[in-house]
Amino acid sequence: MEQHRPSLRDIARRLNVSHATVSMALRNNPRISEKRREEVRKVADEIGYRPDPMLSSLVAYRQRKQEKPLVSVLAWVNRWPDPKKLRQYKEFESYWQGACKAAEALGYKLEEFVVNDDLRGHRLNDILLSRGIQGILIPPHSSSDSWIDLGLDWKKFSVVRFGFSISDLRAHMIGGDQMRSSELAVKKMSEAGYRSIGYLTNYPFDFKTGGNFRMGYLRGIELDDRLARVEPLLLREPMIRGQSKLEREKALSEILNWIEDSRLDAVFTSEIGLASALSEAGVKVPEDIALAATSVRECDGISAGIDQNPFVIGEVAVQVLVSRLNRNDTGEPQFCRRVLVEGDWTSGETLPTVEL
CA proximity to 262, closest of 216, 189, 202, 194? 194
Residues 218 and 255 both lie in one domain: yes
- Residue 182: the pLDDT is 98
Range of the domain at 295: 178-308
Residues 107 and 139 both lie in one domain: yes
Ranges assigned E (strand) in 238-337: 266-269, 290-293, 305-307
Asked whether residue 22 is domain-assigned, the answer is no
Residues 157 and 112 both lie in one domain: yes
CATH number (domain holding residue 260): 3.40.50.2300
- Tell me what the pLDDT averaged over the chain comes to: 89
Residues 158 and 186 both lie in one domain: no
Instruction: List Cα–Cα distances, 66 to 19, 27, 52, 63, in angstroms.
Output: 24, 22, 22, 5
- pLDDT beyond 90 at 36: no
* 65/48: higher pLDDT: 48
Residues 183 and 303 both lie in one domain: yes
Asked whether residue 262 is domain-assigned, the answer is yes
Residues 172 and 213 both lie in one domain: no
Residues 231 and 154 both lie in one domain: no
CA proximity to 330, closest of 113, 174, 153? 153
- Residue 342: the pLDDT is 95
Instruction: Kindly report, residue by residue over 58-86, the tens digit of the pLDDT.
Output: 655 565 555 544 458 999 999 999 999 99
User: What is the bridge-based pairing of β-strands 197-202 and 266-269?
Assistant: parallel
Mean pLDDT, rounded, for 113-134 = 89
- pLDDT beyond 90 at 229: yes
Instruction: Kindly report, residue by residue over 291-341, the tens digit of the pLDDT.
Output: 999 999 999 899 999 999 999 999 999 999 999 998 889 999 989 999 999
Angle at 261 between CA 260 and CA 263, to 5 degrees: 60
* 37/68: higher pLDDT: 37
Mean pLDDT, rounded, for 269-282 = 92
Residues 91 and 201 both lie in one domain: no
- pLDDT beyond 80 at 355: no
Asked whether residue 356 is domain-assigned, the answer is no
Model-level pTM? 0.81
Asked whether residue 28 is domain-assigned, the answer is no
Weakest-pLDDT range from 133-142, 242-251, 343-352: 242-251
Share of residues in the chain with pLDDT > 90 (%): 63
Asked whether residue 221 is domain-assigned, the answer is yes
Residues 231 and 197 both lie in one domain: yes
Residues 79 and 143 both lie in one domain: yes
- pLDDT beyond 50 at 122: yes
Number of domains the chain is built from: 2
* 179/70: higher pLDDT: 179
Asked whether residue 53 is domain-assigned, the answer is no
Residue 335: left if φ>0, alpha if ψ -120 to 50, beta else—which one?
beta
Share of residues in the chain with pLDDT > 70 (%): 91
Residues 170 and 196 both lie in one domain: no
- Residue 165: the pLDDT is 84
- Residue 70: the pLDDT is 46
- pLDDT beyond 90 at 201: yes
Asked whether residue 201 is domain-assigned, the answer is yes
Residues 6 or more apart in contact with residue 93 via CB below 8 angstroms: 87
- pLDDT beyond 50 at 2: no
Residues 156 and 273 both lie in one domain: no
Asked whether residue 276 is domain-assigned, the answer is yes
